[in-house]
Every structure is written in C-alpha cells, then in structure tokens.
Amino acid sequence: MKKINEDYRNGLIHEGRIKNLGQFSFEFNELIRVESLCSVINPTILLDETRIRFSEYLKIAKDNKEEMHKFKMQMISIFKPEVDRL
C-alpha cells in the first residue's frame, strides 16, 4: 500500500503525475504488479477495494460516535465551501 500511496495518490495530488513510471492496466487480475522498472495498478480492482474499505469504515463510524464525529468534521472541512455555494 505504501507504493500506491506514494507513487499514485501523492504523485497525482501533489505533482499531477504518477511517480516512478507507474501505470494503469486492465490486463491482469491483481491490484498491483511491481515489475522491474515500474508498478502497474488495475483500476477496476483499486475501485472495488476502495469501495470495500470505505464501506467497512462507515460501519465502524456508525457504531462509534467519536469516529462519526471525526468523519463529519473532516467532510465539513473539505466540502464546506462547495456546500455554502449551493
């Protein structure tokens, strides 16, 4: 997961690119394949894994008031300007 976070997430968010020759491909059935010069992510599996993990987190947050409050505050801090414009 460190490679996904560093090369893909941080690269795209902070630099507008995927770092270290990272690529996307639908041609294999695993989340990430690290090859000699690059890493390759299957975007379908990445999306599925993201959905699963987010769903698991929401179940935890629904049962934990403190965690739900943290989640709400984070969403408000991220999306408040957009919501205020509606």
Per domain, the residue ranges of the chain are 2-84
Instruction: Report the pLDDT averaged over residues 18-25.
Output: 93
Confidence grade of residue 15 (pLDDT, cut at 50, 70, 90): very high
**pLDDT above 90 for 1:** no
**pLDDT, mean over the chain:** 92
65 forms bridges with which residues in the sheet? none
Question: Counting beta carbons within 10 angstroms of the beta carbon of residue 8, is it exposed (0 to 12), middle (13 to 18) or buried (19 or more)?
Answer: buried
